[in-house]
């Protein structure tokens, strides 16, 4: 026989007792009936234990992706037409690689003229050296003549006029030596000048090859074949040094002070399935006066499909630690701040003020107010009053 439910059976027994009908209840049913008649039914409330778990403090931000360093390539010589372009947008180039070639015709003609000028100047030097030798020999001869004339004059065998003439010839010869030596120096200076001009032309001939100053990726090309190379206008090429990109993330003033170089970052861009990683490279020292936003520069590790100008969403990992946490639904916020409803061993509820910290997923860090092993009302904390008694039911998921 199937036993009757407990509560209807108790009611039946009470009814029979009121009508005077004798009835015999089992001892167990008698005890349960007595308990039911004396104790109130407590509401079942889901509770969660305070647990220690790893929590990550993250800042969600976003911004535009741009090159860490742009390198502009301009011609080192001007006035020469562009003969060939050997690199285009999107090409990866190495340092020293030729990107464009300029015409060499004018420079080669100038070099031929200067080589002839150098030969002529060196011939002039040779002539000047010969003149110096001749002038020095004539000066020595004039000096000996003057010496003999002086000796003869002292002995009375020569007139004063002949002595004066000999001395004048010696002075004139000495002056011619000085002039010859100065002419030699001028000729040598001319050789040096022409050789310097020739070296400059040779240098300019090497500069007709426009080379990449650094390794990187070509992101812009303004040069056109046939155009006259000039450093005054737009650069011929624009490179990103080593192809390195960064995200210039926008941050509120509150978040800006929490970001520091070296923090790791996760990055997502539209159209990319994988999550990119990066590192905070630099935090800009100023805040925009109009938007009240600051910026952090996040270097990307292996940019992959990311391109300059794209928008990216980033998560900056500010801190990661083991901390006491409770479910986010257990936190009540009011005029007095954050509170939780703590449940003790007897099922009594008490409101406790707490200080919260990191929030991650469905959990929130409790900095103060609770200790390990405490239980709090998981949900419906607003419907439980301080001092109430409940029947705690452990949460099925933590």
Averaged in consecutive runs of 10 residues, what is the pLDDT profile of the chain (398 residues)? Answer: 43 47 51 55 85 91 92 92 94 94 93 93 92 89 83 78 81 88 92 94 93 93 92 90 91 93 92 87 93 93 82 92 91 87 89 90 90 85 80 75
> What's the pLDDT score for residue 222?
93
pTM for the structure as a whole = 0.64
Name residue, tokens 């002539």: 127
> What's the pLDDT score for residue 149?
79
**Closest Cα to residue 217, out of 114, 359, 75, 67?**
67
> What's the pLDDT score for residue 353?
92
Alpha helices by DSSP H, the chain: 6-18, 27-38, 105-155, 160-206, 253-256
**Closest Cα to residue 102, out of 133, 76, 67?**
76
> What's the pLDDT score for residue 233?
82
> What's the pLDDT score for residue 37?
52
Count of Cβ atoms closer than 10 Å to residue 308 Cβ: 16
318 close to 57: Cβ distance less than 8 angstroms = yes
> What's the pLDDT score for residue 26?
56
In 242-327, beta strands by DSSP E: 245-252, 264-269, 276-283, 293-300, 311-327
> What's the pLDDT score for residue 299?
92
Q: What would the DSSP string read from start to end of 62-89?
A: EEEEEES-EEEE--SS-S-BEEEE---T
Distances (CA, A) of 102 to 207, 238, 373, 397: 8, 18, 79, 73
């Amino acid at each position: 026989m199937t036993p009757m439910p407990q509560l209807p059976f108790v009611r039946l027994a009470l009814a029979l007792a009121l009508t005077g009908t004798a009835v015999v209840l089992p001892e167990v049913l008698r005890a349960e009936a007595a308990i039911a008649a004396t104790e109130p039914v407590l509401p079942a409330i889901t509770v969660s234990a305070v647990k220690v778990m790893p929590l990550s403090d993250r800042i969600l931000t976003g911004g535009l992706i741009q090159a860490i360093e742009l390198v502009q390539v301009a011609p080192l010589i001007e006035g020469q037409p562009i003969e060939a372009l050997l690199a285009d947008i999107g090409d990866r180039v190495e340092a020293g690689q030729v990107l464009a070639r300029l015409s060499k015709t004018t420079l080669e003609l100038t070099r031929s003229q200067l080589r002839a000028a150098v030969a002529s100047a060196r011939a002039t030097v040779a002539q000047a050296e010969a003149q110096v030798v001749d002038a020095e020999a004539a000066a020595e001869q004039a000096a000996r003549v003057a010496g003999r004339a002086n000796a003869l004059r002292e002995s009375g065998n020569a007139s004063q006029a002949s002595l004066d003439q000999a001395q004048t010839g010696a002075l004139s010869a000495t002056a011619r030596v000085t002039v010859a030596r100065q002419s030699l120096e001028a000729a040598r200076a001319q050789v040096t000048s022409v050789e310097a001009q020739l070296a400059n032309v040779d240098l300019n001939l090497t500069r007709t090859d426009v080379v990449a100053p650094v390794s990187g990726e070509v992101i812009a090309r303004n040069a056109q074949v046939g155009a006259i190379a000039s450093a005054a206008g737009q650069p011929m090429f624009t490179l990103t040094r080593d192809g390195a990109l960064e995200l210039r993330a926008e941050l509120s003033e509150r978040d800006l002070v929490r970001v520091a170089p070296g923090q790791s970052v996760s990055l997502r861009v539209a159209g990319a399935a994988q999550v990119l990683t990066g590192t905070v490279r630099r935090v800009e020292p100023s805040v925009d006066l109009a938007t009240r936003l600051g910026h952090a520069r996040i270097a990307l590790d292996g940019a992959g499909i990311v391109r300059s100008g794209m928008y990216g969403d980033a998560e900056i990992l500010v801190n990661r630690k083991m901390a006491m946490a409770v479910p986010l639904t257990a936190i009540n916020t009011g005029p007095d701040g954050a509170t939780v409803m703590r449940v003790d061993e007897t099922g009594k509820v008490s409101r406790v003020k707490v200080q919260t910290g990191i929030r991650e997923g469905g959990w929130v860090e409790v900095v103060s107010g609770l200790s390990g092993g405490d239980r709090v009302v998981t949900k419906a904390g607003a419907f439980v009053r301080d001092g109430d008694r409940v029947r705690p039911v452990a949460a099925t998921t933590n």
